[in-house]
A and B are shown apart, each in its own frame.
Chain A
């Protein structure tokens, strides 16, 4: 099944471009300490190196993407910002996928009271504007990368839970599940060994959208000044300082925004095409 899905996924050129782009961003993020650190690195600036003589300098051969209001190199800050965006996106989504899959599996497998409780819980979370909850959690517990990831996970587990609930409900009535039960497997073994691995595909679709959500929301928090604390470079925080210089520093607006947009779009496209590849009706 995975091979067929993969082949159908590859039929979309756009999806492959998106996947390749994410690969490049991940590589850049991983090699950030070597790419942009000091005078000897390929980009001869660290993210917090201050070049006082060249504050708010437009892009030129020295500073490829210009400098910010303190004279820091925008390209170097963006390379390091990729680390924050990807870390927050992936870890927050992993947390919400774990919680969502677990609760969704319980609800789908046992039905009845378990299903009722999980469904009400989802309903409650969906009543809150997600940004209200995220802002409140970050403000109450202090802005750090961990509270941000926690807040994102808390607002986003519902989509995974709904997907898994539906899948598990369908799968538990299938023959292999009955066979596992007949051969004496316990509930947790049926859920974790037999049902959840088969529900993995929809979780991955939802997780791909989840990463996009987490990245754009983390950037929004940084933009609003409640993100990962300064002086850590994030894409959102570069945009946040651009707010003050909207009148002349176009490079502070265009480049980090483009990075956020393309990364978010890539994860959204991958999720969408993967979902299409899983859907037999999309032929």
Chain B
């Protein structure tokens, strides 16, 4: 077990270097003077040559490329992603400020998607071959193919414009601060509904498909036939033998979902004007705020790396076949 974890961690460290090198190379292949990364291309004309040289020295741009990479990496491991040149605040502070609202949105969406999707998927696996199974399979696919930005617009059109029951966008109403506690909570919840639905429906389809194929895979195996042969009822076979084995692969989804969630957040937060990470990134892209773009890219990639490490280790804990594979 320990060797497995250590090996996995070492791979993780290598991947971390890979991630940083990939971002560094991407940024350095962008046409234009790298100084503009630190002050913004609009500020360049206003500065004298001496001032530009000063900035180059300050950001180590006068040094060879490998050294530049070293300085940049040092910043990253100490959580110093530089300063946004749009509002001149540390990128780390910006991320910390926007993270809670994105986290809340995604957590609720994840719970909704998992709590509905997994049971539906498991249920449809037990009805293999019947019409309801085939129909649900097609339904998952159609749901998964719906573009989220379209669904968001339709939901807004229907529930906000037509029926006036849910707010069009934003995180709170204008009079939020004057309200009592229960009214505040209710207001937040109302603003959550449409973004959560938009984020959750496609995930739900993915979880349903995934858990369906996992359970179908298990049901085909010999030990299930054995359990049936010794006379266990089909409910007992399902609960005691099949389900436990089918749920283990769901752990891997943990590592795979994070980048998917963040991508979804960009679109959903932009449409519903939700003040979170996705919108921060999109605004940074629109204003060419390089330090923020870089900081967020590194931060999310590293977070994903941690999530997938955690998923792999949990998987090995849950399934002895994995950790014994190398022996």
Contact = CB atoms under 8 A, between A and B. Distances in A.
A260 B301 contact: no
B153 A246 contact: yes
A36 to B, nearest CB: 23
Interface string A226-243: 100000000010010011
Nearest to A267: B145
A147 to B, nearest CB: 12
A264 B145 contact: yes
Given A120-B18, A121-B18, A246-B156, A132 B150 contact: no
A265 B141 contact: yes
B323 interface: no
B161 A224 contact: no
Nearest to A138: B285
Contact of B150 (A121, A136, A257): A257
Interface of B: 11, 14-15, 18-19, 22, 26-27, 30-31, 138, 141-142, 144-150, 153-154, 156-157, 161, 168, 220, 256, 258-263, 266-267, 270-271, 281-282, 285-286, 288, 293, 296-297, 300-302, 304-305, 308
Interface stretch (A92-100, A179-187, A190-198, A215-223): A215-223
Contact of A135 (B157, B285, B300): B285
A136 B263 CA distance: 12
B259 A272 contact: no
Contact of B154 (A124, A130, A253): A253
Contacts of B14: 120
Given A121-B18, A131-B267, A268-B144, A224 B282 contact: yes
B153 A126 contact: no
A161 interface: no
B149 A139 contact: no
B124 to A, nearest CB: 15
Interface residues of A, number: 44
B145 A265 contact: yes
10 contacts: A128-B300, A131-B263, A132-B263, A135-B281, A216-B147, A219-B147, A253-B157, A264-B145, A269-B138, A272-B141
Q: Give 7 nearest A-B pairs by CB, closest first.
A: A257-B150, A131-B263, A265-B145, A129-B262, A129-B259, A124-B18, A129-B263
B300 A132 contact: yes
Interface of A: 14, 120-121, 123-124, 126-133, 135-137, 139-141, 212, 216, 219-220, 223-224, 226, 236, 239, 242-243, 246-247, 250, 253-254, 257, 260-261, 264-265, 268-269, 272, 281
Contacts of A219: 147, 149
A239 B146 CA distance: 14
B281 A243 contact: no
A223 B268 CA distance: 12
B297 A132 contact: yes
Contact of B145 (A131, A253, A268): A268
Most buried by A among B26, B149, B285: B149
Given A216-B145, A224-B267, 11 more contacts: A120-B11, A120-B14, A129-B259, A135-B282, A136-B26, A140-B26, A226-B285, A246-B156, A246-B168, A268-B141, A268-B144
A224 B270 contact: yes
Given A136-B26, A224-B267, A226-B285, A128 B153 contact: no
A261 B141 contact: no
Given A224-B282, A246-B157, A124 B141 contact: no
A77 B120 CA distance: 40
Nearest to A121: B18
A238 B147 CA distance: 14
Contacts of B267: 131, 220, 223-224
B204 to A, nearest CB: 16
Most buried by B among A128, A216, A250, A269: A128
Contact of A129 (B153, B288, B300): B300
B263 A130 contact: yes
Contacts of A250: 157
A140 B30 contact: yes
Contacts of B301: 127-128
Nearest to B305: A127
B266 A127 contact: no
